[in-house]
Every structure is written in C-alpha cells, then in structure tokens.
Amino acid sequence: MATRPVFPDGRSLIGGARARGRAEGILLGLRKAVLIVLRKRQLAVSHDVHGRILDCTDPDLLLRWVGNALTALVAEAIFDDID
C-alpha cells in the first residue's frame, strides 16, 4: 500500500490541497454568481466593480453581494452596506 506524504505534524499534504481546492472552487462560484446576477439584470459592471468582485476572498461577503445584486439599481450599490 502506498503511503501519502504528510506534514511533520501528521496532516496530509493531499488533504490540505484538496480542502484549499474546494475553498477556491466555492469562491469562484460565488464570484461568478455575483457577476451573473448583475449581467442578467442588465446592470453595467465597471472594471473597478469587476475587479473588486474577483479579488474578494470572503465567501460570506460574496454571498451578501449576490443578495444585494438582486435588488441593486446600479452595480456599485452591491457594496453599499459595507463601505
């Protein structure tokens, strides 16, 4: 049986990479969701708004932005409750 590489404290290298990959996938999905809602509502998405969404690493904040995008009158308004 093959052994899996581990950190000195016993954590699996593979398990950590898998968890990081899963977390990054969740962030990617939430970022896409914000942009999709804005575009489907035909709101203009500036370069700054697009960049801020893509740079966000907080899944709770991205989820809040998805909700805000459902009712925002302009794309920049998704950030109103946090600025």
Could you count the other beta carbons within 10 Å of the beta carbon of residue 54?
13
User: For the whole model, what pTM was predicted?
Assistant: 0.76
On the question of pLDDT at 70 being above 70, the answer is: yes
SS3 for 12?
Answer: strand
| For residues 57-73, average pLDDT | 97
Q: pLDDT per residue over 2-40, tens digit each?
A: 566 555 666 665 667 777 888 788 999 999 999 999 999
- Tell me, rounded to whole angstroms, the distance of Cα 2 from its chain centroid: 35
pLDDT for the residue 66: 97
